[in-house]
Amino acid sequence: MPTFDSDEAARLHRELHSHLPSDPALRTKTLESLLVERGLVAPETLDAWVEAYSEHIGPKRGTQVVARAWCDPGFRERLLADATAAITEMGFEGDATGHLKAIENTDSQHNMVVCTLCSCYPFSLLGMSPPWYKSAAYRARAVREPRAVLAEFGVDLPEDVGVRVWDSTAELRYLVVPQRPAGTEGWEEERLATLVTRNSMIGTERDLTTGGA
Protein backbone atom coordinates (compact mmCIF):
# COMPACT_ATOMS: atom_id res chain seq x y z
CA MET A 1 0.00 0.00 0.00
CA PRO A 2 1.50 3.37 -1.00
CA THR A 3 2.29 5.82 1.77
CA PHE A 4 1.54 9.52 1.75
CA ASP A 5 4.53 11.77 2.31
CA SER A 6 3.19 15.18 3.31
CA ASP A 7 6.58 16.87 2.97
CA GLU A 8 7.04 15.52 -0.55
CA ALA A 9 3.50 16.56 -1.49
CA ALA A 10 4.17 20.08 -0.21
CA ARG A 11 7.39 20.23 -2.18
CA LEU A 12 5.66 19.16 -5.39
CA HIS A 13 2.89 21.69 -4.76
CA ARG A 14 5.43 24.51 -4.37
CA GLU A 15 7.34 23.41 -7.44
CA LEU A 16 4.23 23.29 -9.61
CA HIS A 17 3.07 26.71 -8.46
CA SER A 18 6.53 28.19 -9.01
CA HIS A 19 5.98 27.69 -12.75
CA LEU A 20 2.63 29.48 -12.78
CA PRO A 21 2.31 33.23 -13.39
CA SER A 22 1.21 35.41 -10.51
CA ASP A 23 -2.48 36.15 -9.98
CA PRO A 24 -2.17 39.68 -11.42
CA ALA A 25 -0.45 38.23 -14.49
CA LEU A 26 -3.23 35.65 -14.91
CA ARG A 27 -5.90 38.32 -14.59
CA THR A 28 -4.11 40.53 -17.09
CA LYS A 29 -3.77 37.68 -19.58
CA THR A 30 -7.44 36.74 -19.16
CA LEU A 31 -8.55 40.32 -19.69
CA GLU A 32 -6.32 40.64 -22.74
CA SER A 33 -7.72 37.42 -24.23
CA LEU A 34 -11.31 38.57 -23.69
CA LEU A 35 -10.69 41.97 -25.28
CA VAL A 36 -9.06 40.40 -28.31
CA GLU A 37 -11.70 37.65 -28.60
CA ARG A 38 -14.54 40.19 -28.61
CA GLY A 39 -12.82 42.39 -31.14
CA LEU A 40 -12.45 45.34 -28.80
CA VAL A 41 -8.72 45.63 -29.31
CA ALA A 42 -6.18 44.24 -31.78
CA PRO A 43 -3.26 42.15 -30.46
CA GLU A 44 -0.77 44.33 -32.31
CA THR A 45 -2.20 47.40 -30.55
CA LEU A 46 -1.56 45.84 -27.16
CA ASP A 47 1.94 44.81 -28.20
CA ALA A 48 2.70 48.34 -29.40
CA TRP A 49 1.38 49.86 -26.15
CA VAL A 50 3.48 47.52 -24.00
CA GLU A 51 6.57 48.18 -26.10
CA ALA A 52 6.08 51.95 -25.93
CA TYR A 53 5.94 52.04 -22.14
CA SER A 54 8.56 49.36 -21.46
CA GLU A 55 11.13 50.26 -24.11
CA HIS A 56 10.63 53.86 -25.18
CA ILE A 57 9.00 55.74 -22.34
CA GLY A 58 9.69 53.74 -19.20
CA PRO A 59 11.56 56.21 -17.03
CA LYS A 60 13.74 57.14 -20.02
CA ARG A 61 11.98 60.37 -20.88
CA GLY A 62 12.21 61.52 -17.29
CA THR A 63 15.93 60.77 -17.16
CA GLN A 64 16.46 62.91 -20.25
CA VAL A 65 14.56 65.79 -18.66
CA VAL A 66 16.68 65.60 -15.50
CA ALA A 67 19.92 65.35 -17.46
CA ARG A 68 19.03 68.43 -19.49
CA ALA A 69 18.20 70.34 -16.31
CA TRP A 70 21.65 69.42 -14.96
CA CYS A 71 23.39 70.63 -18.11
CA ASP A 72 21.31 73.64 -19.13
CA PRO A 73 20.69 76.28 -16.42
CA GLY A 74 18.12 78.02 -18.60
CA PHE A 75 16.13 74.84 -19.08
CA ARG A 76 16.37 74.10 -15.36
CA GLU A 77 14.85 77.48 -14.55
CA ARG A 78 12.03 76.92 -17.04
CA LEU A 79 11.43 73.42 -15.70
CA LEU A 80 11.12 74.60 -12.11
CA ALA A 81 8.91 77.53 -13.16
CA ASP A 82 6.60 75.62 -15.52
CA ALA A 83 7.43 71.97 -15.95
CA THR A 84 4.64 71.29 -18.44
CA ALA A 85 5.89 74.00 -20.79
CA ALA A 86 9.50 72.93 -20.37
CA ILE A 87 8.95 69.27 -21.23
CA THR A 88 6.89 70.33 -24.23
CA GLU A 89 10.16 71.69 -25.63
CA MET A 90 11.37 68.08 -25.64
CA GLY A 91 8.19 66.69 -27.18
CA PHE A 92 7.24 64.79 -24.04
CA GLU A 93 3.87 66.33 -23.31
CA GLY A 94 0.92 64.03 -22.58
CA ASP A 95 -2.30 63.67 -20.61
CA ALA A 96 -0.39 62.63 -17.47
CA THR A 97 1.84 65.69 -17.55
CA GLY A 98 -0.67 68.40 -18.43
CA HIS A 99 -0.24 69.83 -14.93
CA LEU A 100 3.30 68.96 -13.87
CA LYS A 101 5.46 70.50 -11.19
CA ALA A 102 9.20 69.82 -10.95
CA ILE A 103 10.67 69.90 -7.45
CA GLU A 104 14.40 69.97 -6.86
CA ASN A 105 16.36 68.17 -4.17
CA THR A 106 18.99 70.26 -2.40
CA ASP A 107 21.60 69.74 0.29
CA SER A 108 19.03 70.72 2.92
CA GLN A 109 15.80 69.30 1.49
CA HIS A 110 14.65 65.98 0.10
CA ASN A 111 11.40 65.62 -1.83
CA MET A 112 9.17 62.58 -1.99
CA VAL A 113 6.01 62.00 -4.04
CA VAL A 114 2.93 60.03 -3.06
CA CYS A 115 -0.70 59.87 -4.14
CA THR A 116 -2.78 59.32 -1.02
CA LEU A 117 -6.13 58.92 -2.79
CA CYS A 118 -5.21 56.70 -5.71
CA SER A 119 -2.00 56.38 -7.72
CA CYS A 120 -1.71 59.49 -9.91
CA TYR A 121 1.64 59.37 -11.64
CA PRO A 122 3.38 61.14 -14.58
CA PHE A 123 3.46 58.00 -16.71
CA SER A 124 4.18 60.03 -19.85
CA LEU A 125 7.63 60.62 -18.33
CA LEU A 126 8.18 57.68 -16.03
CA GLY A 127 6.29 54.85 -17.70
CA MET A 128 4.01 52.67 -15.60
CA SER A 129 4.12 53.18 -11.86
CA PRO A 130 5.78 50.48 -9.70
CA PRO A 131 3.44 48.25 -7.67
CA TRP A 132 4.67 49.62 -4.33
CA TYR A 133 3.70 53.17 -5.36
CA LYS A 134 0.06 52.04 -5.62
CA SER A 135 0.06 50.09 -2.38
CA ALA A 136 -2.02 51.29 0.55
CA ALA A 137 0.97 50.93 2.87
CA TYR A 138 3.17 53.30 0.89
CA ARG A 139 0.37 55.81 0.32
CA ALA A 140 -0.42 56.00 4.02
CA ARG A 141 3.01 55.69 5.58
CA ALA A 142 4.81 58.05 3.22
CA VAL A 143 2.75 60.89 4.68
CA ARG A 144 2.85 59.80 8.33
CA GLU A 145 6.44 58.59 8.61
CA PRO A 146 8.39 59.54 5.48
CA ARG A 147 11.81 59.07 7.07
CA ALA A 148 10.96 55.51 8.07
CA VAL A 149 9.73 54.71 4.57
CA LEU A 150 12.83 56.26 3.03
CA ALA A 151 15.02 54.20 5.35
CA GLU A 152 13.34 51.06 4.02
CA PHE A 153 14.41 52.16 0.54
CA GLY A 154 17.96 52.59 1.82
CA VAL A 155 17.80 56.38 2.20
CA ASP A 156 19.01 57.44 5.65
CA LEU A 157 18.75 61.21 5.87
CA PRO A 158 20.70 63.30 8.37
CA GLU A 159 18.54 65.24 10.79
CA ASP A 160 19.52 68.53 9.16
CA VAL A 161 17.97 67.45 5.86
CA GLY A 162 14.26 68.19 5.76
CA VAL A 163 11.72 65.98 4.01
CA ARG A 164 8.78 67.34 2.08
CA VAL A 165 6.08 64.98 0.86
CA TRP A 166 4.11 66.06 -2.21
CA ASP A 167 0.63 64.61 -2.69
CA SER A 168 -0.01 63.97 -6.36
CA THR A 169 -3.53 64.34 -7.78
CA ALA A 170 -5.23 64.04 -11.16
CA GLU A 171 -4.81 67.82 -11.50
CA LEU A 172 -1.20 68.14 -10.37
CA ARG A 173 1.62 65.62 -10.62
CA TYR A 174 5.25 65.88 -9.60
CA LEU A 175 8.71 65.11 -10.89
CA VAL A 176 11.60 65.11 -8.43
CA VAL A 177 14.85 66.49 -9.88
CA PRO A 178 17.62 64.67 -7.98
CA GLN A 179 20.97 66.27 -7.30
CA ARG A 180 23.67 65.79 -9.88
CA PRO A 181 26.36 63.35 -8.70
CA ALA A 182 29.83 64.70 -8.05
CA GLY A 183 32.50 63.88 -10.59
CA THR A 184 30.26 64.26 -13.64
CA GLU A 185 31.53 67.64 -14.77
CA GLY A 186 31.80 67.76 -18.54
CA TRP A 187 29.52 64.77 -19.08
CA GLU A 188 27.05 64.98 -21.96
CA GLU A 189 23.30 64.70 -21.42
CA GLU A 190 23.05 61.20 -22.83
CA ARG A 191 25.64 59.88 -20.40
CA LEU A 192 24.17 61.75 -17.45
CA ALA A 193 20.72 60.32 -18.19
CA THR A 194 22.04 56.81 -17.51
CA LEU A 195 22.65 57.79 -13.88
CA VAL A 196 19.08 58.89 -13.18
CA THR A 197 16.70 56.26 -11.78
CA ARG A 198 12.94 56.07 -11.67
CA ASN A 199 12.97 55.97 -7.88
CA SER A 200 15.10 59.11 -7.70
CA MET A 201 12.41 60.93 -9.70
CA ILE A 202 9.77 59.74 -7.23
CA GLY A 203 11.97 60.57 -4.27
CA THR A 204 12.60 57.13 -2.80
CA GLU A 205 16.25 57.33 -3.81
CA ARG A 206 18.57 60.25 -3.13
CA ASP A 207 22.30 59.85 -3.71
CA LEU A 208 22.97 58.91 -7.31
CA THR A 209 26.42 57.61 -8.15
CA THR A 210 28.43 57.19 -11.31
CA GLY A 211 28.88 53.50 -10.61
CA GLY A 212 31.68 53.27 -13.16
CA ALA A 213 29.49 54.74 -15.91
Q: Judge whether 119 counts as a catalytic residue.
A: yes
In order, the DSSP letters of 41-97 are S-HHHHHHHHHIIIIIITTHHHHHHHHHHHH-HHHHHHHHH-HHHHHHTTT---GGG
Q: Judge whether 115 counts as a catalytic residue.
A: yes
In this structure, the dihedral spanned by the alpha carbons of residues 205, 80, 165 and 201, taken in order and rounded to 10 degrees, is -20
- Residue of 33, 54, 118, 135 marked active site: 118
Q: Distance (Å, rounded) from C-alpha 189 to C-alpha 187?
A: 7
- Residue of 22, 119, 124, 135 marked active site: 119
Nearest one of 189, 184, 196, 171 to 84, comparing CA atoms: 171
Q: Judge whether 120 counts as a catalytic residue.
A: yes
Q: Distance (Å, rounded) from C-alpha 62 to C-alpha 54?
A: 13
Residues with Cβ < 8 Å from 45, sequence gap 6 or more? none
Phi-psi region of 156 (alpha: psi -120 to 50; beta: other; left: phi over 0): beta
Residues with Cβ < 8 Å from 158, sequence gap 6 or more? none
Active site amino acids: 115, 118-120
